Amino acid sequence: MFDNWLASRLGLIPDDLPSYPVNYSDDFKSWRPVEISRLVSKHQNEISDRRICASAAAPKTCSIERVLRKTGRFQKWLQAKRLTPDLVQGLPSPLLRCPSQRLLDRVVRRYAEVADAGSIFMDHFTDRDKLRLLYTLAVNAHPILLQIFPGAEGWPLPRYLGSCGRFLVSTSTSPLQEFYGAPADQAADLAYQLLGVLESLRSNDLNYFFYFTHVDVDMFGIFNNGHLFIRDASALGVIDRQEGSQAASRAGENKDIFSCLVSGCQTELPSCDTIPEKQSLVLVCGQVLPPLLQAKFPSPVQEEIDAELARCGEGTRPDPEVLQAASRLKDILRPLRTCDPRFAYRYPDCKYNDKF
């Protein structure tokens, strides 16, 4: 049950925003803030719908589901018992750029929209379940990432609460941009957390390497306890270091209407083998952290921060130099953080343990 649709109180047309804060309740008694988000903007939906109809030489309006069901790709999905790399080849999502069987099994096993999740086989998927999963993977893999790498297991992502049509519901966060005017200790804490998040994406127990294809400040958010998370994972790619990529060699031959729903059909993503370790750091240090950390600290600390930030954000530097600059930046920021109730995610533990 949802209450307090913010758009109605402000007189906004729902098309104006990609997401809306609302209150959610399971029992009508206790309410918690959540966020309802569009998979893509209404404008992008209209473009993709027109492309789908045009692919079938249909009029401007058509039955989207009927057209997609008749595609060659979906017919292969109908026959498949297991989601294999060839079934997702050519889809534009960074998540699927370098697919391994282990990653795809995780998608099927943890897909929350089916009644019997837990198996790597799709025997319990209805035809509509398969179409829904395929469409979501083709349009925006963000809700899939929330399901397969849940925050409850330590991944830096908000909790997935469900979806309906082209909307999804997740726990609410405040955009990082709202904290660009934060005091120095809070800015240091958020920057320190963000660098830690990127570190966990590069190195984790499951041996997946996550990287951003691009970044902006709206991709990161903060919970009301001060904890920083990835708010929008749509630009997050995944490479399986344990199993390796099983991408088909002739990707161009696998492109179809599902490849073109939200991007141009000619869009080419870089090879899995060319993604450097430093990629996410260069993007974040170059575009996200400077406005958060600029002119916040006394000299010479500010100069030290600016210098390491510049090194970290310089894409021409080799991986080890960028990683070292990020590590030094974390070392500078760590003592600039304070321990008080504003940082509830680590308070009062920080009073008794330097680890926090």
Using the structure block, give the residue that is written with the tokens 């837990």: 118
Give the Cα separation of 356 and 235 in Å (integer).
Answer: 29
Question: Torsions phi, psi of 351, nearest 5?
Answer: -75, -25
Beta-ladder partners of 221: 175, 229
With cut-offs at 50, 70 and 90, classify the pLDDT of residue 247: low
With cut-offs at 50, 70 and 90, classify the pLDDT of residue 272: confident
Q: Tell me the mean pLDDT in the region 117-132.
A: 92
**CA-based nearest residue to 277, from 228, 327, 222:** 327
pLDDT for 293-322, tens place per residue? 999 999 999 999 999 999 999 999 999 999
pLDDT for 142-199, tens place per residue? 999 999 999 999 999 999 998 888 888 998 889 999 999 999 999 999 999 999 999 9
Domain count, the chain: 1
DSSP class of residue 286 equals I
Would the pLDDT of 5 be above 50? no
pLDDT for 36-70, tens place per residue? 899 888 888 888 999 999 888 877 778 999 999 99
DSSP class of residue 252 equals G
Question: Torsions phi, psi of 32, nearest 5?
Answer: -140, 150
Using the structure block, give the residue that is written with the tokens 């957390």: 193
With cut-offs at 50, 70 and 90, classify the pLDDT of residue 32: confident
Q: Tell me the mean pLDDT in the region 270-296.
A: 94
pTM for this entry = 0.90
Looking at this protein, which amino acid is placed at residue 303? E
Q: Tell me the mean pLDDT in the region 238-248.
A: 80
User: String of b and e for 191-209 (b: at least 16 CB within 10 Å)?
Assistant: bbbbbebbbebbeeeeebb
Would the pLDDT of 254 be above 90? no
pLDDT on residue 250: 42
Residue 5 lies in a domain: yes
Beta-ladder partners of 239: 209
Residue 25 lies in a domain: yes
pLDDT on residue 34: 86
DSSP class of residue 341 equals G
Exposure of 62 by Cβ count < 10 A (0-12 exposed, 13-18 middle, 19+ buried)?
middle
- Most confidently predicted of 25-29, 40-44, 218-222: 218-222
Give the Cα separation of 11 and 255 in Å (integer).
Answer: 42
Beta-ladder partners of 162: 169
Contacts of 299 by beta carbon, 8 Å cutoff, 6+ apart = none
Would the pLDDT of 240 be above 90? yes
The neighbour count for residue 16, using CB atoms within 10 Å, is: 10
Residue 19 lies in a domain: yes
Residue 3 lies in a domain: yes
pLDDT for 262-271, tens place per residue? 876 666 667 7
Residue 1 lies in a domain: yes
Residue 27 lies in a domain: yes
Host domain of residue 16: 1-38
For 301-307, the CB contacts below 8 A with 24+ separation are 301/332, 301/336, 304/332, 305/329, 305/332, 305/333
pLDDT on residue 166: 87
DSSP class of residue 174 equals E
Residue 284 lies in a domain: no
- The two tokens of residue 304 are 């030290």
Question: Torsions phi, psi of 242, nearest 5?
Answer: -80, -45
Residue 13 lies in a domain: yes
Radius of gyration of the chain (CA): 22
Give the Cα separation of 53 and 61 in Å (integer).
Answer: 7
